[in-house]
Structure 1
């Protein structure tokens, strides 16, 4: 309950500070740099050595790819037909292809399914969603930003992406038996800044006044992310024999709000930042109702 309350408070404070005019205009960019370059890698390096890697939960790692690839195929086609700009298509693909499975997903899944489901949620986030963010999302962002998708350039971008570096370091630490207590404490403290700062950043950039032509991509994008994506994960998982808590957690993670980091990534590549932040902000509010509803339907 406290994590859920923190989510609402930080989002609300961001909105209030944005209206107060007390922060400089580049405040979101500075906060986002901290999140992407420091807090998120630290969180990954801290959590990976503590995970229990189980072979029977592979679907948790697969389902985020289903959501992301589905988003890419769907909105590339819709966007071209509706004559959206490449930046607009990219913003929808990124924000509606990646779910907020960490700092919103963890507290919601714990509240809905109990502490037992938290380990599965962490596995799905780190082995699924985070890998998609570090690889597929970076490739998509580079393509829609109008840059030549040279394999070397994309590989360089992926390999130098701070969260991806954190993933590699975390896996090495896990293989070596974990971090010394003092290092683990430092990583924990750095990683703990991600949730409040990320939601505060979303609040700073929260937009309900849409620009020209933005209402349709927002509605279509959230329709996919909050309703059709979890349905797809359920429809694929059941015939594959996925049952019980792994299926439930996979579906609930697919139903989560658009990922804050995906909105930040869209902004860094110049992919319609205003639309990206609107999708994240509105999606966060709507998901507070839609995720519990998905749980009831399960």
Structure 2
């Protein structure tokens, strides 16, 4: 129950930041197209700094074992999500199937998940969250990219993985953590400060996305509610059921499951435009799953405390 209450309070704070972003966008403080600039700052600077900062802790054998467990459970959770997405969309029209599977199979772990994990579990939780996001990015740029593009060359996949800022940050973080490399405060301080920008900046971008969308038009897409149901309800429930059957418990599985229960990843819209899929379905999935997650994430946190 405590976890659910903390999650509800944190989600309310995130909602207020989302509203701030929406108001700024509507008031003309920045234009909707400026979101790409903010997103690049978040992707290439803020999130990597936050990930590296999570590794700037004293090496502990138990924490390292938990980190390895986080990698394994992340692979399992993502596999469950993708399997549900594929099986549940077999009867969807072929032209909508790819983008729907992508939207249901991949969560917005970095934008919505990291702020929540930091509030619930602190820096140690972020350490395990970085494992999930590493596995997530590898899966997104291999399996996910193949789903939406119809084909993907090995060269494109490898390039996407080795140039992903978050994966590079995890690699550097692991070197510092496992090598027990001392990082002077003159470097650690700015890294931590920049990393702390993740929550407000990601929520401002989310708010701008919502403010610049035609919500009424997006609601008219017949596949939208199927996407929301799968992404926010069925996939998290299936992952929780499998974890419960395996008998896993503690912080690590909770971190992984909360990240898997986040709304549709924002790059869904970008891929829909790039590969000529249903853009309205993609935009609606991102916008409305984000709005609905304000309710579903605290409820899911309550379910975690009851089951695990």
Distance 1:110 1:28, change over 3 A: closer
* Residues 1:30 and 2:37 aligned together: yes
Note the C-alpha offset of 1:198: 1.5
Note the C-alpha offset of 1:120: 5.7
Equivalent residues in 2 for 1:262-277 (5 A)? 262-263=267-268, 266=271, 275-277=281-283
Note the C-alpha offset of 1:126: 1.0
Q: Which residue of 2 aligns with 1:170?
A: 173
Which of 225, 228, 233 is the matching residue for 2:231?
225
Which of 97, 102, 105 is the matching residue for 1:97?
105
* Residues 1:161 and 2:164 aligned together: yes
* Residues 1:191 and 2:195 aligned together: yes
Give me the CA root mean square deviation: 3.4
Distance 1:107 1:145 in 2: 28
Q: Which residue of 1 aligns with 2:186?
A: 182
3-state DSSP of counterpart to 1:158: helix
Which of 59, 64, 72 is the matching residue for 1:62?
72
Distance 1:55 1:190 in 2: 28
Q: Which runs of 5+ in 2 are unaligned?
A: 1-5
**Could you give the per-residue CA deviations for residues 156-201 of structure 1, whole angstroms, max 9, x where no partner exists?**
1110112221121111122333422111111112222222121111
Q: Which runs of 5+ in 1 are unaligned?
A: none
Distance 1:80 1:199 in 2: 34
Distance 1:76 1:244, change over 3 A: closer
Distance 2:273 2:190 in 1: 27
Note the C-alpha offset of 1:67: 3.9
Runs (4+) of structure 1 exceeding 6 A deviation are none
TM-score, normalisation: structure 2: 0.77
CA contact 1:102–1:122 (8 Å) conserved in 2? no
Note the C-alpha offset of 1:135: 0.7
Which of 39, 49, 59 is the matching residue for 2:46?
39
Note the C-alpha offset of 1:27: 0.5
Q: Which residue of 2 aligns with 1:13?
A: 20
- How many residues align? The count is 289
Q: Which residue of 2 aligns with 1:72?
A: 82
